[in-house]
Amino acid sequence: MESKQTSIMQKEIFEEPSVIKQLIENYITEDGKVTIELPEKISNIVIVASGSSYNCAAIASPLVIEYANIPCDCEYSSEFVLQKKHFVTPDSLYIFVSQSGETSDTINALKAIKAEGVKTLCITNAKDSTMWKLCDYKILSDAGEEKSIASTKALCAQIFCSILVIMKIVSQKGEDISGIVNTMRRLPSYLERIIMDQDKIKTAAQTVAQYENISILGNKNYYPVAKEGALKMKETCYLNVMAYPFGEFMHGHVAVLNQKSIVIAIIDEENAAFAQRNLEKIRKNYNPKIVCITSVQEFKSGDINIYIKTKRKTKAIFGALLTLQLIACTMASILDKNPDSPKGLTKVVKD
């Protein structure tokens, strides 16, 4: 079935390269300095958010640990307010992420931790929102108005802003950030190339749309990317799509493949050998359809292989995310669903 007219969601996905270009212009100087403001000393970070913004937090958290070499946790806003005690030091930084800056659970979490005198930072697309006014430090994600219910360009901007935080922390330690700055400068053109590969996206979407039992697999940073892809398919196609860490999937969850199934796997150089072994077991024991989204050109284990060319993890995260967004959006059109206004859903804001 052919896809129909362009949706608002698709238009907003297509805007992601220009959103990143604008953020680079806003926050990175020509000589490679990051201009956001942060506390000079940060002992640990906790990122608090809901929905797609939580997936941003979960993507960012291991990157903070890997690149900035400080402890970083992420928590759901709704769970945060139920927890009686939080780990706090004089140099803790709590980051709150919300597209609207008005997400009720996240604001409640922010107010709770501010009562303990903790330094706070917000990443939001809404300047002068409640969250913006309450936080000590602020980053405007500057994605422009996002009309579609399913967050795409706003999430892309949030992840980029999280990487700005990492770069700023590293630079405040006196370390060289020129490598990651150059990688981020090349990100918009990288995303534009992925958007142009519509034939592979369409083929994958037409195949995945035939299934009601869909599993998306990813390791480490890519597990929350898989969760976000699953969320986009749930929101736009009303399908029960599940995301799993690759290895954990093999511990019992793999039994779902006893019914007609399709597996979407996110592959990079770090997990390629591990993924290869598990996909071979999955194919031998269950023989589902397999779609691979991979930054490793030689990886050909899927029935469909979508190559997102890069050796940089930070770029591959955006590439895999964009690919899943496009697949979900195209699937919605194929299944005759409205991705811009899913039944029963609204953007969660203040009660």
Domain boundaries, the chain: 8-185, 192-334
Give CA separation, 60 vs 10, 38, 131, in Å.
Answer: 25, 16, 20
| Residue 350 binned pLDDT confidence (cut-offs 50, 70, 90) | very low
Count of C-beta atoms within a 10 Å radius of residue 287: 10
Does residue 8 surpass a pLDDT of 90? yes
Residue that the structure tokens 């300095």 belong to: 33
Does residue 194 surpass a pLDDT of 90? yes
Does residue 347 surpass a pLDDT of 60? no
Residue 182 token pair = 């150059």
**Which superfamily is assigned to 8-185 in CATH?**
Glucose-6-phosphate isomerase like protein; domain 1 (3.40.50.10490)
Contact 96, 123 (CB under 8 A): yes
Residue 132 token pair = 């913006």
Q: What is the pTM of this model?
A: 0.94
Q: 82 versus 3: which is more confidently predicted? A: 82
Does residue 342 surpass a pLDDT of 80? no
Instruction: Give Cβ neighbours of residue 69 (< 8 Å, ≥ 6 apart).
Output: none
Q: Which residues pair with 215 in a beta bridge?
A: 242, 263
Quote the distance between the C-alpha of residue 3 and its chain's center. 25
pLDDT, mean of residues 168-192: 97
DSSP conformational letter for 258: G
* pLDDT for the residue 4: 53
Pick the CATH number of 192-334 from 3.40.50.300, 3.40.50.10490, 1.10.1200.120, 2.60.40.2890: 3.40.50.10490
* pLDDT for the residue 351: 40
| Helices (H), ranges, 64-103 | 77-80
DSSP conformational letter for 221: T
Can you give the length of the chain in residues? 351
Residue 65 token pair = 């640990």
Q: Which residues pair with 350 in a beta bridge?
A: none
Give CA separation, 296 vs 135, 217, 244, 307, 320, in Å.
Answer: 41, 16, 21, 7, 12
In terms of phi and psi (left: phi > 0; alpha: psi -120 to 50; beta: otherwise), the region of 344 is left
Residue 236 token pair = 């736009």
Residue 265 token pair = 């796997």
What is the distance between the alpha carbons of residues 287 and 292, in angstroms, rounded to a whole number?
A: 15
Domain 8-185 shares a fold with domain 192-334: yes
pLDDT, mean of residues 264-270: 95
What is the distance between the alpha carbons of residues 313 and 270, in angstroms, rounded to a whole number?
A: 9
pLDDT digits (tens, 9 = 90+) for 38-90: 999 999 999 999 999 999 999 999 999 999 999 999 999 999 989 889 999 99
Q: What percent of the chain has pLDDT over 90?
A: 89
Residue 192 token pair = 């534009």
pLDDT digits (tens, 9 = 90+) for 9-32: 999 999 999 999 999 999 999 999
DSSP conformational letter for 67: I
Q: Which residues pair with 265 in a beta bridge?
A: 217, 292
Q: What is the rounded average pLDDT for all residues in the chain?
A: 94
Residue 103 token pair = 């997400």
